[in-house]
Amino acid sequence: MNIYLVVNFVLYLGLFIYNWYSKDSGKYYALLVLGIFLVSSFCSLFYYDSILYKSLTESNGKSVSLIALLYLFFGFLILIYPLRKYEAIRYVRIPRLGGHDLVFVSFVILGIISIIPFFENLMQVLKLSGRSMAEIYFDRQGTVIDTRAHMSSLGKFLNGITTWFQYILPIGVFYLIQQKKRWYWVVLAAFGAVNPVLLDMLFGGRGALFQSFCVFFFNYMIFYRSFSRKVKRIISVIGIIVLGIFALVLVVMTIARAEGGNEVVLSGIYRYLGEGFVNFSEAGWYVRNHSDGYSIFNGTGYTFWKDLSPYFDSRDYVSLSNIMHIRMYVYYTVMGDAFLDFDILGGLFFLFVLAFFFVFFTKKQANSFSSLILLNLYAKIGFNGIYCWSYMYCLDFLVFTIILVALIRVFEKKKNSI
C-alpha cells in the first residue's frame, strides 16, 4: 500500500470529519461531494495494489508524487468552498409572466416532448444485458456509434430538444413536488430527467447512472425542508428502489467488462472509483506540455456550434496524447484536468475563477430559480470530479444552459416574481 496514497486518504477523511461538525450553511451539499472524494481516495489505496493497476499502469518508472496529491487536495479545497457557504434554501423564488408560473409551464412542455423518446429509449434498454452493454462500450472505442439508431425520426427530433435542457430537468421533478403539483406532472418531468440516462446506458456508459443518482439526491437535499413527512417517506422509498436498481446495473456492467474472476471484478471497482488519484500523481503530474484548454473545453461535435469554434468540436484523444505524451482516455480528476490544460498556477486559477463566479452570481440570491440551476451546474463538477471535468464533450449544452439562466434572471427581476 502506497504511503502517499494513505496520506491522501487521511486528508480527505480529516476534511470530511471537519465539515461534518462545522456549522456552515451548505455543509450537507459539501459533504455529498466530499463523501465521493473520500470513497475515491480509499479505493485508490486498493487499486494501486490490484492486478489491473499492474497491467494498466503508465508510470514509466515514475513514482506516486505526494506533491501532486497535495496539489489535488488544495484544488479541491478551492472547489468545495462555495458549496460549504451556500445559503440553505427555504423556498424558491419563481419567475412569472402574466401571472403564470413560467417554471411549471416549461417543465410540463418539456415533459410532454420527452414522452416518445423516453419510451423508445426505455424499450431499447430493456433489451440489453450486462454483456451487450459491455460489448457496446468496447466497440465504441476508436469509432462512432449512433445510439439513436433505434429511434423514430420524431423520437430523434424530440430527444434532441430535451437533451439541451438536461441540466435543468432533474430540478423540475423536485420543484413540482414542492409546489404540490399533481403526480402526472411530476412523472412527465421525470421522463425528461431520466431520458439522458437511458441514452447513455445504450452507449455502454456507467457515468450517467452515477451522476444522475448524485444529482437527484442533491436536489432532494435542496428541497428537503419544504417537503411534508408523508412526501419524505414516499421519496425515500422510491429513492431506495431506484438506488438498488442503479447499483445493480453498475455492478452488472462492471462484472461484464471485467471478464475475469472476483479479483478482477474488485479491481475493476477500485479502478473505476479510485484511478483518478493514481493516474494523476504518477503520470499527469509529470506532464510538461499543456493543452491550453483543449482538453476541458470541447463540445459534442454534433451540434451547429461546432462551426463557431474548434472548442465546440469533439475531443481529439490522439492529438491530446501527442501533446502531453500520456493516455487521454483515462481519468485524472477534475483538478488534474485543470492542471493538464493550464499547468500548476493556471489550473488553480481556473478552479478559483469557477468558485468566484459561482459565488458572485448567487450571492444574496440563493433562493432564486436561476441560482438553483447554477448550484446544480457547480455541484455536478464535484459529483464527477473524481473522474474528470464534468462538462467534457458538453460545452454546447453548458453554454446553452448558462444563456437560459441569464434569461430566467431577467424574469426574476420583474416585480411579479414570487
With respect to residue 268, please indicate whether it lies within any of the assigned structural domains: no
- Please check whether residues 130 and 205 belong to one and the same domain: yes
Shared domain check, 81 and 123: no
Domain end marker among 258, 283, 313: 258
Calculate the alpha carbon distances from 262 to 36, 48, 55, 258 in Å: 24, 17, 17, 9
- Whether 402 shows a pLDDT value over 70: the answer reads yes
Residues 295 and 407 in one domain: yes
- Could you tell me the pTM of the whole model? 0.88
Which residue has better confidence, 52 or 140? 52
Q: How far apart are CA 333 and CA 347, in angstroms?
A: 12
pLDDT for residue 299 is more than 80: no
Query: What confidence score (pLDDT) does residue 353 get?
Result: 95
Residues 237 and 348 in one domain: no
Radius of gyration of the chain (CA): 21
**Each residue of 210-252: pLDDT tens digit?**
788 888 889 888 888 888 888 888 888 888 887 787 777 777 7
Q: Mark whether 63 and 43 lie in a shared domain.
A: yes
Q: For residue 404, what pLDDT is reported?
A: 92
63 and 150, same domain (yes or no): no
Q: Residue 393 is placed in which grid cell?
A: 464533450
Show the domain range for 110: 99-258
What pLDDT score does 337 carry?
92
Residues 110 and 186 occupy one common structural domain: yes
Residue 143 in this model has a pLDDT that exceeds 60: no
Mean pLDDT of the chain: 82
pLDDT digits (tens, 9 = 90+) for 61-114: 678 899 999 999 999 999 999 999 888 766 676 666 556 677 888 888 999 999
Does residue 417 belong to any structural domain of this protein? no
Q: Cell match 459561482: residue?
A: 358
Inform me whether the pLDDT recorded for 348 exceeds 90.
Answer: yes
Residue 57 has pLDDT above 80, yes or no: no
- Indicate the burial class of 417 (C-beta count within 10 angstroms; 0-12, 13-18, 19 or more): middle
In which band, very low, low, confident or very high, does the pLDDT at 257 lie, cut at 50, 70 and 90? low
Check whether residue 189 and residue 114 sit in a common domain: yes
User: Is there a single domain that holds both residue 360 and residue 236?
Assistant: no
Residues shown for the chain: 418
Q: Total structural domains in the chain?
A: 2
pLDDT-derived band at 335 (thresholds 50, 70, 90) equals very high
Is the domain of 87 the same as that of 107?
Answer: no
Q: In degrees to the nearest 10, what's the CA dihedral of 97, 100, 104, 106? A: -50
- Indicate whether 136 and 278 sit together in one domain: no
Choose among 259, 276, 132: nearest CA to 204: 132
pLDDT at 3: 93
User: Is 265 among the domain residues?
Assistant: no
Answer yes or no: do 236 and 368 share one domain.
Answer: no
Q: For residue 269, tell me if it sits in a domain.
A: no
Q: What is the pLDDT of residue 302?
A: 64
